[in-house]
Amino acid sequence: MKLLLAFFIPFTFNLSAQINWVSFEEALTMQQKAPKKIFVDVYTNWCGWCKKMDKSTFQDPNVAKYMNDNFYAVKLNAESRDTFRVKDKQFVYKQEYKANELALNLLYGKMGYPTIVVIDETNKTAHPHPGYKQPAGMMQILKFYAEDHYKSKTLKEFQKEG
């Protein structure tokens, strides 16, 4: 009887994966050593949809695992007054836009929050996607870029297939 009970000991495991967020500078450094795309969540402190995405989409275990496996994840407060250094360029807060130049650059001046941006391994192309994303929609976007579908089709074409 003792041997049989050993098989009924409850086994627990943690399904709640968390995204490994790093700074923009850290992502660039990590990318040089092991190339991956960079995923940037551009947000503001006052944005309700940004907070909702933090509490739902970014807490989804499937999103977190896929993100960690395929991207360097960065959270960027668009209104940050920090100075960011990327290669030889310095990005600072611009009062006239009420935003940091790095966010302005990544969003091509179309400031809306939340906006996610995927930067390819060469750091030459940024792909912004504005608006709140539910976990299923986020997974489509992540797979679209991680699996390089963006090189041969549009996101809409990819979504129709899937």
| CATH code, 17-148 | 3.40.30.10
Cβ neighbour number for residue 3 with a 10 Å cutoff: 6
Q: What is the pLDDT of residues 56-78, one digit of tens each?
A: 999 999 999 999 999 999 999 99
Q: Domains of the chain: which residue ranges?
A: 17-148
Q: What is the pLDDT of residues 17-55, one digit of tens each?
A: 799 999 999 999 999 999 999 999 999 999 999 999 999
- Residue 14 has a pLDDT of 45
- Residue 1 has a pLDDT of 42
149 Cβ contact list (under 8 Å, min separation 6): 143, 158
Of 95-104, 121-130, 140-149, the range with the lowest mean pLDDT is 121-130
